[in-house]
Amino acid sequence: MRLIDPAYTLSDNQKILQVVDNVERIYREGENEKATQMIFSDIGTPKSKEEGFDVYNELKDLLVDRGIPKEAIAFVHDANTDDKKNSLSRKVNSGEVRILMASTEKGGTGLNVQSRMKAVHHLDVPWRPSDVGRILRTFKIKKNVEVTDNGKDNF
C-alpha cells in the first residue's frame, strides 16, 4: 500500500513483515554454513531516498534493525556491469553476501548464485512459470531447501 500512499503505516500482518520474519529465521538457522537467500520483488525496486518509498530499502532497513549486518545484504540492481555482477555472484556463492534482493528480470536466468541457497522468497508472483524455482538446481552446496506447497497466497 505504501507504494501508492506513503502515509500508510506498517502493520503486523503485512507481507513485508512476514518476509522479514522468515528471512531472519533462516539467516540465523544457516549461520554455520553461511546459507544464502534470495528475495524476488518486481514491484518497489530500489530508488533513491528522494524518490520515495521502495520495498527493497524497507526490507533492508528492517533486516538491519534485527541485527543482520548491512554488508550481508545486497541488491542485484547495484551490479550494473558484468564485472560487478560477477563479483556479486562470487560473494553470494561464498556466503559473504547472504541475502540478495532482485527483480525476476535481473535475478532470474543467467545469475548463478545457487551454491549455498537455502530459501527463495517471492514477494509478488512472477508472470511466467519459468521464473519460479530458481533454487532447485544441480551442483549446490546447500542440498536441503525450504519449499512451500499448496499455499493460499504467494507467500
Alpha carbon distance 79, 150 (integer Å): 34
User: DSSP assignment of 136-149, as one string?
Assistant: --SS-S--------
* Domain 15-131 in CATH 3.40.630.30: no
Which has the minimum average pLDDT: 33-47, 74-88, 117-131, 133-147?
133-147
Summarize pLDDT for 41-67 with one digit per residue, the tens: 987 677 656 666 788 999 999 999 999
Q: What is the pLDDT of residue 88?
A: 97
Which pLDDT score, from 0 to 100, does residue 115 have? 92
Domain boundaries, the chain: 15-131
Task: Give the pLDDT score at 109.
Answer: 74
Integer Cα distance of 132 and 125 in angstroms:
9
DSSP letter, residue 115 = T
Task: Render pLDDT for 5-28 as a digit per residue (tens, 0 to 9).
Answer: 566 666 555 788 999 999 999 999
Q: Which residues, 6+ apart, have CB-to-CB distance to 110 below 8 Å? A: none
Residue 22: which H helix or E strand, with range? Answer: helix 15-29
- For the range 49-55, what are the long-range contacts, defined as Cβ-Cβ under 8 Å and sequence gap of 24 or more? 52/6, 53/2, 53/3, 53/6, 54/3, 55/3, 55/16, 55/123
Are the C-beta atoms of residues 148 and 26 closer than 8 Å to each other? Answer: no
Question: pLDDT tens across 109-140, in order?
Answer: 778 898 999 999 988 876 666 656 555 555 55
Residue 146 has pLDDT above 70, yes or no: no
